[in-house]
Amino acid sequence: MTQYSTDEKLERQVKDLYKLAKERCDDESLQLAVDVIKTMRRSRGKLKSWNQKYREGIESLHEDIQVQEEQNLALKQELNKLGNELRTLALEKQRLQIEKQRAIAELRDIEIQVKVAAQKVQSTKSLRGKFDIVWCFLQTVFFSDDPQDFGKIDNSLEVDQDKPQMGSGVADTQRSLRD
């Protein structure tokens, strides 16, 4: 409270000095004192303005820093995600290259077997011998996993509501015979 009253006293004294300077225009020291006070007040106003701009600038910088940190964090997360995706893709590429090399090796193996079988067929005179060579070739190429497994044929008929199939039960057979 004393600070406020001191400021008020100072302001009253400055106003009194201004009035006195107007009344005594010829007193140079009084005019000089008024000019010094005016200059100090202008400087004080500029200083307050600069101080306010400085504080606003600092607040703006803090906000910009916060935004940049958030963007950096988001970019780091995106970079980590992309890095993981790249590693996954690299592993997938390696796996595909291995499969490709395996397939190429199998195809070369088949090519060699074809050439050998073709030479054997050409050198064999009997028709049965030629068929045996071709059959061995087919078994080797297509049934190499289990030579006893020649695959399964699905003989089941698809159900068609528009064209129903005759059942194998006694009633179905008797009904079919009556028709």
Domain ranges across the chain? 2-145
pLDDT band at 176 (very low <50, low <70, confident <90, very high): low
Contacts of 114 (CB under 8 A, 6+ apart): 137
Summarised one tens digit per residue, pLDDT across range 39-96 is 988 888 889 889 999 999 999 999 999 999 999 999 999 999 999 999 999 999 999 9
What does the pLDDT look like over 122-162, one tens digit per residue?
A: 998 888 888 888 888 888 877 766 555 555 656 666 666 66
Tell me, rounded to whole angstroms, the distance of Cα 153 from its chain centroid.
47
Distance (Å, whole) CA 106 – CA 53: 77
**pTM of this prediction exceeds 0.85:** no
Kindly report the number of other CB atoms within 10 A of residue 110's CB atom.
15
